[in-house]
Structure 1
């Protein structure tokens, strides 16, 4: 059964390269191309593709406007094609909010689009998108800065909440982080599989919606109540416990990817287990594969952590939570919109 794809980009060069890459896979059939959002909408109605690749920046109707229309009129799995700029990253985070399944970052050198690593990523993401669940934006609670005021948190650090997620994660995190009260006696550490640059935009977006202070983690950050630290793309996030103060310090490194990922959820969770901390809550959410499962096993066995998994029904891709559930280490399997309440209940705010 082939996957039928519509390729949307205003650059003839990019359309040709993406079409050629996808056509190399026997299970993918490029139905047609479109040069802008307006043309894309007409062709989606006419052809009913399984997956759409959608450029962010286009004339006539840009990718974000087109995506809104797709989600309103005929929801279909969409993968955004984004430039590696701050503007491109911000627009991509917005697109994931609106319902895009995932994104592909255009390499800085446009001729690198055809390299093997990029080819493999594009084909893999198309296949994941085909089997993912599309959730229109209207099915989510939306948090804005006007509702959320930053609060001064003088609480002693009692809990660490470690969250791992991948495909569908940026949007899922918007349902988990913003409802958390800013005066919680806990800190949050997060691995979201994403390239460099995009994690900074994600952290800024979450920070604008939350009472918690959300930031892209920096080497040397001391884990503090009321903060959420997101591992930067291309870096592993690990922890070092200071023997004299007992404080936990974030360390970033460029060690080899684990299971194809850097940052890796397993690396973060295992390093947290090494600190010997108790009162840890592990959360595993939507995403492909099994990253996080081994690290959560260690947190469960060595630290007595409370493990929460997102349920299948609310996941975009039920891979990472499924692996943890099958390993028998999960204490609670719950819907996405109940995860923040479960964290608050466990922490005892």
Structure 2
């Protein structure tokens, strides 16, 4: 099997050496070159044709964001960003994902992280995952974002589906969405198309570390009709609001009198994830008073599949999965579809419309 060819871009020689050592220890990959600024990176991407680029956000001459934009327009290649955990770093990372980065790693202690070994395993797995990314879809999303003015959907003409007894249910509904690699852009495609009059609260688990989900929520809120916020302990869930699970905390629901409220906890990660989609889905499955629309979108692995089984066992649920065609990584949707419990498989641009068909 041919090895994954990686180009390392970082202005610190120490960091370049550290990253190279970590990656070359893995038999699946080989480092074909390195670059110390964005200008150098663009030349080497064209010359060396790597399968994946690791790209530092903060660099002289041409920073990581500007270099990423050029790479995605001149020689589209899967990119894993390395960023700091500062507020500015988080905002830049969310921006980088919008410009086409496949994923990101946070440096544990700033630009030169002597303790980078803490994220060694994560770095290796994210590079492997990026090598499998649907680069055509990343390029397509980029061109769509440049060339289209966001169109508001007219949901008044949508016919409810007849295929599911779900529609016979009057009463309360809940939308729960799970996603991972490629998720921020998929969420933008879906959430910005939901009307503020949506007759349900929306819960989201996006695999991300602490500090980044807030920036994601702020960005999506600025682009959407619905209100988007990072979920907080005790929030009473409201229709027309999207609650994004904070990085590092599982999102569950609990009754507070007659109201449903957000409960956040630090119970152990599930399959390496906290927040985990499975945990949110399982918590939602216990709410017999609500009908649920569950959505599983792009991401590595199978998080959400066990939770989907639980949802279907215990309640009235419609399950939607993102199609292989538009998934950046077709892991989570594929695992969900394999259960034969998914009712609709849709391209990402049609998911909001499908949600509204059931709401």
Question: 1:89 maps to what in 2?
Answer: 90
Question: 1:151 maps to what in 2?
Answer: none
Question: 1:280 maps to what in 2?
Answer: 292
User: What is the TM-score when the length of structure 1 is the normalising length?
Assistant: 0.93
Give 1:142 shift.
6.9
Does structure 2 retain, via aligned residues, the 8 Å contact 1:140–1:175? no
Question: 2:270 maps to what in 1?
Answer: 258
> What secondary structure is seen at the aligned counterpart in 1 of 2:272?
coil
Per-residue displacement from partner, 1:304-335 (whole Å, max 9, x unpaired)?
21000000010011111111110011000010
Does structure 1 retain, via aligned residues, the 8 Å contact 2:171–2:290? no
Aligned length: 336
Question: 1:10 maps to what in 2?
Answer: 11
What is the distance in 2 between the residues matched to 1:11 and 1:83?
14
> What secondary structure is seen at the aligned counterpart in 2 of 1:19?
helix
Question: 1:235 maps to what in 2?
Answer: 249
What is the distance in 2 between the residues matched to 1:85 and 1:157?
43
- Alignment partner for residue 205 of structure 2, among 191, 196, 211? 191
Question: 1:132 maps to what in 2?
Answer: 133
Q: Alpha carbons of 1:91 and 1:142: their partners in 2 closer, same or farther (altered >3 Å)?
A: same
User: What is the TM-score when the length of structure 2 is the normalising length?
Assistant: 0.90
What is the distance in 1 between the residues matched to 2:101 and 2:60?
20
What is the distance in 2 between the residues matched to 1:45 and 1:61?
16
What is the distance in 2 between the residues matched to 1:215 and 1:34?
38
Question: CA RMSD for the aligned pairs?
Answer: 1.9
Give 1:28 shift.
1.1
What is the distance in 2 between the residues matched to 1:48 and 1:145?
33
Question: 1:303 maps to what in 2?
Answer: 315
Per-residue displacement from partner, 1:165-217 (whole Å, max 9, x unpaired)?
00000010000001101111111000000000000000001000001110000
Give 1:81 shift.
0.5
Give 1:16 shift.
1.2
Deviates more, 1:165-174 or 1:21-30: 21-30
1:323 and 2:330 correspond: no
Question: 2:167 maps to what in 1?
Answer: none
What is the distance in 1 between the residues matched to 2:60 and 2:32?
22
What is the distance in 1 between the residues matched to 2:109 and 2:230?
22
Give 1:34 shift.
0.3
Does structure 1 retain, via aligned residues, the 8 Å contact 2:228–2:244? yes
Deviates more, 1:229-238 or 1:16-25: 16-25
What is the distance in 2 between the residues matched to 1:46 and 1:90?
31
Per-residue displacement from partner, 1:30-63 (whole Å, max 9, x unpaired)?
1111011100001111110110000111111111
1:113 and 2:116 correspond: yes
- Alignment partner for residue 189 of structure 2, among 163, 175, 188? 175
Q: Alpha carbons of 1:161 and 1:142: their partners in 2 closer, same or farther (altered >3 Å)?
A: farther
Unaligned runs of 5+ in 2: 153-169
Does structure 2 retain, via aligned residues, the 8 Å contact 1:186–1:225? yes
What is the distance in 1 between the residues matched to 2:273 and 2:316?
26
What is the distance in 1 between the residues matched to 2:143 and 2:122?
29
Give 1:108 shift.
2.0
> What secondary structure is seen at the aligned counterpart in 2 of 1:318?
coil
Unaligned runs of 5+ in 1: 149-155
What is the distance in 2 between the residues matched to 1:185 and 1:304?
17
Q: In the TM superposition, what are the counterparts of 1:154-165 in structure 2 within 5 Å?
A: 158-165=172-179
